[in-house]
Structure 1
Amino acid sequence: MTDYPITNNSHYFRREVTFDRDLQAHYQQQQKGSYHVLDLACGEGEFLKKQIQSLGTNGIHWYGLDLSPDLLFHAKQTLADEWVMLSEGSADALPYPDDSMNYISNRYSFHHFLNKRGVIREIWRVLKPGGMLKMTNRSVFDEANSWLYLYFPNAFFEDCNRYWSREMLFGAMQQMGFHVQIQLKVTMKLEPLRHLLYLAEMQAFSSLTRLSGRDYQSGLSMMREKLRKNPKSRIQTEQSEMILYARK
């Protein structure tokens, strides 16, 4: 199960999707017989679409799973011309046999899973020996000075309750038996406040949807007032990207 409404995708925020070179490298190393790839929490299917365009379907079987029927509806449209098996289901009860997947991708969604340890157990179960999980997400504990938490401080407490630290994630994966490596990239830069206000108004970060109306409107008001005083305002931002590689 997840912490967001499965029938409402109004806050679904599209991130840039790129070709997964780690998937390509793993596929080339394991290229014996059929190869099975699962996009866990596949959303609208953009990740699968990009990978299929680059790697094709010859010898590769593609799967996508999501709990949201709305997102899966859009995924079926995105992938209408592709050979992909899409399933509606929960990440802590995967509808796949033991030792069936070579590669699992999970992008920016692990924090939504309520039963995180159950999800890890299921990933371990369905991965083949030598199979790999690649998980990408924010590391909110490395974004304590982010603009998001400056204007919406309670969003930080919401995120701390949902996201695991990289140390906790590393330990849980290692305890399950995975060989684990975590890479962290933190980018600090100045960004136009006008653009950040747009992201806040679009509720591009799910923690904003969990705030009280008062907290949310208070943050927006502060941003708008600062922008009114200086339309060219730029503020320092912190953005993190944590990539976990877990090999069975």
Structure 2
Amino acid sequence: MKKTNYSKIAGKYDNNQFRVDEIRFDHDLKSYIENNIKSEYNVLDLSCGTGLYLEKQSNYFEGVNINWHGLDLSEQMLKKAKQKVSNSKFTTANVEAMPYPSEQFDFISNNYAFHHYINKEQALNEIYRVLQEGGIYKLHNISIQDMPKWWVYHYFPAAYYEDIKRFWSKEIIFHELTTRDLKVNLKIEYRMESIKVIDYLDYAKNRDISVLTLINDKDYEEGLGKMIDDIKTNPDKTIVNDFAEMFCITKKL
């Protein structure tokens, strides 16, 4: 399985406006706090990247006594995170060997990152270890098996074959979580729509979507060229696009 080199895309990672806009108020964290009254809470953003989640949530929950933590393997990504978030403690480490004591965290958020882990079973073991009893692990990702017509795969078909190697299916994820004595609530939000190709050209040019860094340059340039040619032929060119998000809320029993 290939790995994305985030040191190469850290500087342009936040240029993807979708990535910035999609992070909203975390109602699951709010629900946990309302149902578990404590003097303080420990929240971990796992594979926190440039700190987009921590930046927004720490503002949303400004009146709550939360110790915010962010862990990521990329020092370059954490450098960006530290520039925008001052009230969080950041740690450079591998998810598969986290330098935290057992049962430290009330709530662990894990956004668009689980597919990157090489040893996913060990990553889940570590997540379970550092999560408190009754604590919440929230896994949020795309569900590629449910979105074969994604625009990325339409123009860059080699990307699909790379993602198949990286992404567990929802059935495997559900099984692996439940076998670790976690109560699991997993749902898929799916949509199919017609999109204008020109609206996605800048995302392709930015090449910050992790799978586009994994395909070879020839496949990337061919896909990008096809997008550009389609737009030149018809500026209003549309394609059918589907997208599936997985929201998995688990509670440690």
TM-score if structure 1 supplies the norm length? 0.94
Aligned to 1:72: 78
Q: Secondary structure at the match of 1:198?
A: helix
Aligned to 1:242: 246
Contact preservation (8 Å) 1:135, 1:243 = yes
Q: Shift in Å at residue 5 of structure 1? A: 2.0
| Whole-angstrom distance in 2 between the partners of 1:43 and 1:27 | 24
Q: 2:43 is matched with which residue: 25, 31, 37?
A: 37
Letter in 1 for 2:124: I
Q: 2:56 is matched with which residue: 29, 37, 50?
A: 50
Q: Secondary structure at the match of 1:12?
A: helix
Aligned to 1:18: 24
Q: Shift in Å at residue 39 of structure 1? A: 0.4
1:115-160: CA deviation from partner (whole Å, max 9, x where unpaired): 1111100010000000000111000011112222122111100000
Aligned to 2:113: 109
| Whole-angstrom distance in 1 between the partners of 2:185 and 2:64 | 30
1:1-40: CA deviation from partner (whole Å, max 9, x where unpaired): x922253325635412211011011011111232110000
Number of aligned positions between the proteins: 245
Distance change in 2, residues 1:169/1:11 (3 Å): farther
| Whole-angstrom distance in 2 between the partners of 1:193 and 1:87 | 39
Q: Shift in Å at residue 174 of structure 1? A: 0.8
Identity of aligned residues (%): 34
1:126 aligns with 2:127: no
| Whole-angstrom distance in 1 between the partners of 2:132 and 2:113 | 22
Letter in 1 for 2:13: Y
Q: 1:139 is matched with which residue: 135, 143, 152?
A: 143
Deviates more, 1:92-101 or 1:195-204: 195-204
Superposition RMSD in Å: 1.5
1:229 aligns with 2:230: no
Q: 2:92 is matched with which residue: 88, 92, 108?
A: 88
Q: Secondary structure at the match of 1:31?
A: coil
| Whole-angstrom distance in 2 between the partners of 1:148 and 1:72 | 27
Q: 1:79-228 counterparts in 2 under 5 A?
A: 79-80=85-86, 82=87, 84-228=88-232
Letter in 2 for 1:159: D
| Whole-angstrom distance in 2 between the partners of 1:200 and 1:41 | 23
Q: Shift in Å at residue 58 of structure 1? A: 4.1
| Whole-angstrom distance in 2 between the partners of 1:64 and 1:190 | 37
1:157-211: CA deviation from partner (whole Å, max 9, x where unpaired): 0000001110111111111111111110111112111122222111242111111
Could you tell me which runs of 5 or more consecutive residues in structure 1 were left unpaired when the two chains were aligned. none
Deviates more, 1:53-62 or 1:168-177: 53-62
Q: 2:66 is matched with which residue: 55, 60, 69?
A: 60
Q: Secondary structure at the match of 2:29?
A: helix
| Whole-angstrom distance in 1 between the partners of 2:26 and 2:32 | 10
Contact preservation (8 Å) 1:40, 1:106 = yes
| Whole-angstrom distance in 2 between the partners of 1:179 and 1:187 | 27
